[in-house]
Structure 1
């Protein structure tokens, strides 16, 4: 029997999950030491409880998908609204190097998936589904390409398979990023910025931190700036909805969240450089960080562990191998390639987040590290831009090439 919760109860459930996650991380030393994000900690508990209920009674709970999507779009819009041209320029050489590292990783991920699928007697396209389509691409890309795989290439159940793989990656990406960065910091005796107690953080000025950095830090906002910022988010979401509709079936067809991010970039820079309007980064940061946490909580609430448990053993072998490859690549390539310093360790944690899951997971991973060890402006400048925008463009091109080669 299925129970579907409407938007109100879905929101209530997500908030409860976040409160549980905060309590667990505060009370359990293991979660603190390994820098597990609060939404992941609380979400996994909820997923296990829902799995037990399903196993014992057959009951299944469904949550409001549109609300989850809305918070995801708000998060990506907040990235766009934070990306003025000055920040893009400030990314400099580090941004280019990180982009190259990520592009190579996408190729590696797909080669591993396709190669293992062929070795295990599966259709190579299934290996591509268990590769960058779902792991780098996330749920949106998994759903879109899953339909293509079913209709054009005859891969039965490709959508369900893709969603399951994307969900696996979302969880694993949130679990391995923190421990990996912690290991790098300890092994290389990296210089750590002085940590600050969460309950004694100074009030941030507009230029103190980058968006999504140090989410526990106070931001001074007013009702007026909050309303004006909400209007900006509404404009981004309306732009994303409109562009998704008119670009469908054309060469410019992109996931809706990419249009939300792009709309944010356009609106931000047009208002700032053409109309000389002051942007309220503090309010954008607050709404973006809150949306990030709520999106992750809802995504994990929707995790159906029985679907993952029902995956064929060969597919689980591929996903396990992808996890190992991700960890090794982030540890030895991302970290060393980005300079072997504290910023590089935080970037490695972020790479685990969107390399296996999604950009919100990457940001949550970095927040977990920087909350404990101190800020990393470089990481919070580079990862949101690469993980939310550039990576999807590169991934789309790589997927097209591999499909032509093996399809």
Structure 2
């Protein structure tokens, strides 16, 4: 028996999933320690219930796709609207070099994924899913590309696998970052500091990625998309202005999908939403000196991502994964080893072979396999025991929060054009 739920019931169930996820993350230490997102924790429970109903009673559920798509587009528009390229100046040469290092790793990650998929006899596009789509990209990117792979290329279970791979990446990224940095710092002859130095590191970190900043000009770094529960001081006027910007990005994406259809620059709609946000942000701020309200963008972006993930996970068909679980796990284990080696022998060395570069390597493990919150947690664990790293806490949040998503989209388009 098949049930179809309209937008109202879909939204109600999505919010219930988020509440369940919030409860689970607060009560289960493992989930909080590894920064598992609340929508993922609750969504997997919802997906398991849907699976059980299908197995026991033959029930299946269809949720309104339009609402899920709108939330996805809003999230990617929020990334674009936050991508102020003038912030590259704040990071200096180190930020540009790190972005190049990360971009090269994304290419390697996809080469490994596609190569392993072909060797294991599965669709090469699933190799991308177990590559930068879910690992560097995270849950939001995994859900978006998964839907594209399913609808456009007929890849069964791409969304389900993407969410599963992204969850694996969050956990593994949190596990490997600390040991990698500890080994590198040990080679420098440094030892953990006493409590006084730890306090100094904590104070320095509050300057690098301060969670209590209120000035809009300083609102950047760790807080963007990473501290969803922090209080954001927004007004009705700023909310309306921000919604107008989102509407412009979504309208632009809708227009461009029609314009580009059948041409060489045909792209998924969420890519156009992201690109529209980038253009709008930098045009308004650099040409018209418009004061973008980042806090409102952050709030709407986080809310849209949470709802999108909740709805995507409710729509999962876990029974489609049985034949792919083994090969995908092999690919993910290889990706983990590649991340450790790359962070140790490439990220660390190119970024200077010093303490800051060791902390950067830990951060790269975090968002190279999982997400920026994992990167921040990895770096905090290191600086709590050793010394502050202003350079790492300036560079990693800016690269991981939005610049890497833009680069990842471009690289994925190239791979898809080659193998699809």
TM-score when normalising by structure 1: 0.81
**Partners of 1:116 and 1:402 in 2: CA distance:** 16
CA RMSD of aligned residues (A): 3.0
Matched, 1:242 2:252: no
Is the Cα–Cα contact under 8 Å of residues 80 and 263 in structure 1 kept in the other structure? Answer: yes
Q: What SS does structure 2 have at the residue aligned with 1:4?
A: strand
Instruction: Tell me how far apart the structure 1 counterparts of residues 88 and 67 of structure 2 sit (CA, whole Å).
Output: 30
Deviation at 1:53, TM superposition (A): 1.6
CA distance 1:302–1:400, change in 2 (3 Å): same
CA deviation after TM superposition for structure 1 residue 2, in Å: 1.5
Matched, 1:205 2:215: yes
Alignment of 1:102-251 (within 5 A): 102-117=106-121, 126-132=122-128, 135-137=131-133, 138-142=142-146, 144-145=148-149, 158-181=154-177, 184=180, 194=202, 202=212, 204-206=214-216, 207-210=218-221, 211-251=224-264
Q: Distance in 2 between matches of 1:143 and 1:21?
A: 23
Who is 1:120 aligned against? none
The equivalent residue for 1:11 is 11
Residues 1:274 and 2:261 aligned together: no
Q: Does the C-alpha gap of structure 1 residues 307 and 185 become closer, same or farther in structure 2, counting only changes over 3 Å?
A: same
Aligned position for 1:348 = 365
Once the two structures are TM-superposed, the CA of residue 236 in structure 1 deviates from its matched residue by 0.5
Provide the residue aligned with 2:327 in structure 1. Answer: 318
Contact 1:346 1:366 in 2 (8 A): yes
Length-normalised TM-score, structure 2 = 0.78
The corresponding residue for 1:389 is 406
Query: What is the CA–CA distance in structure 1 between the aligned matches of 2:413 and 2:211, rounded to whole Å?
Result: 41
Deviation of 1:202 (Å): 3.5
SS in structure 2 of the partner of residue 43 of structure 1: helix
Matching of residue 83 in structure 1 with residue 83 in structure 2: yes
Cα offset, 1:172, TM superposition: 2.9
Deviations 1:154-208 (A, max 9, x none): xxxx432434433433443344333344555676678985389xxx963633214
Corresponding residue SS for 2:155 = helix
Distance 1:264 1:371, change over 3 A: farther
Q: Matches of 2:127 and 2:311 in 1, distance apart?
A: 24
- Please tell me whether the aligned partners of residues 363 and 375 of structure 2 are also in contact (alpha carbons under 8 angstroms): yes
CA distance in 2, matches of 1:320, 1:144: 22
Assess if the C-alpha contact under 8 Å between 2:238 and 2:293 holds in 1.
yes
Q: Are the aligned partners of 1:103 and 1:394 in contact in 2 as well (CA < 8 Å)?
A: yes
Q: CA deviation at 1:398?
A: 2.8
* Structure-1 residue corresponding to 2:66: 66
Tell whether the 8 Å contact from 1:201 to 1:218 is kept in structure 2 after alignment: no
Aligned partners of 2:213 and 2:40: how far apart in 1?
27
Contact (CA 8 Å) 1:203, 1:217: kept in 2 or not?
no
Residues 266-299 of structure 1, C-alpha deviations (whole Å, 9 max, x = no match): 1111111221211111111111122222222222
Distance 1:345 1:105 in 2: 17
Question: Greater CA deviation, 67-76 or 35-44?
Answer: 35-44
SS at match of 2:132: coil
Does the Cα contact within 8 Å between 2:181 and 2:382 map onto a contact in 1?
Answer: no
Q: Aligned residues, how many?
A: 372
CA deviations over 1:358-380 (Å, ceiling 9, x no partner): xxxx3564577689899944222
Quote the residue 1:49 is aligned against. Answer: 49
Shifted more, 208-217 versus 279-288: the winner is 208-217
Contact 1:203 1:219 in 2 (8 A): no
How far did 1:144 drift? 4.5
The alpha carbon displacement at 1:217 in A equals 2.5
1:28-56 per-residue CA deviation (whole Å, 9 max, x = no partner) reads: 12222333222221111112222112211
Contact 2:71 2:308 in 1 (8 A): yes
- What stretches of structure 1 of length at least 5 have no aligned partner? 118-125, 150-157, 354-361
Residues 140 and 292 of structure 1: is their aligned pair in 2 closer, same or farther, counting only changes over 3 Å? closer
Deviation at 1:108, TM superposition (A): 1.5
**How big is each residue's C-alpha offset from its partner over 1:200-241, in whole Å with a ceiling of 9 and x where there is no partner?**
963633214332133332221111011001100100010011
1:258–1:24 CA distance, 2 compared to 1 (3 A):
same
Q: 2:110 aligns to what SS in structure 1?
A: helix
Q: Does 1:265 align with 2:278?
A: yes
Cα contact 1:134–1:142 (8 A) shared by 2: no
CA deviation vs aligned residue, 1:336-375 (integer Å, no higher than 9, x gap): 533353343233222223xxxxxxxx35645776898999
Partner of 1:303: 316
User: How far off its partner does 1:253 sit?
Assistant: 0.8
Tell me how far 1:304 sits from its aligned partner: 1.6
- Inter-CA distance 94–113: structure 2 relative to 1 (3 Å threshold): same
User: Secondary structure of 1:341's match?
Assistant: helix
Residue 329 (structure 1) aligns with: 338
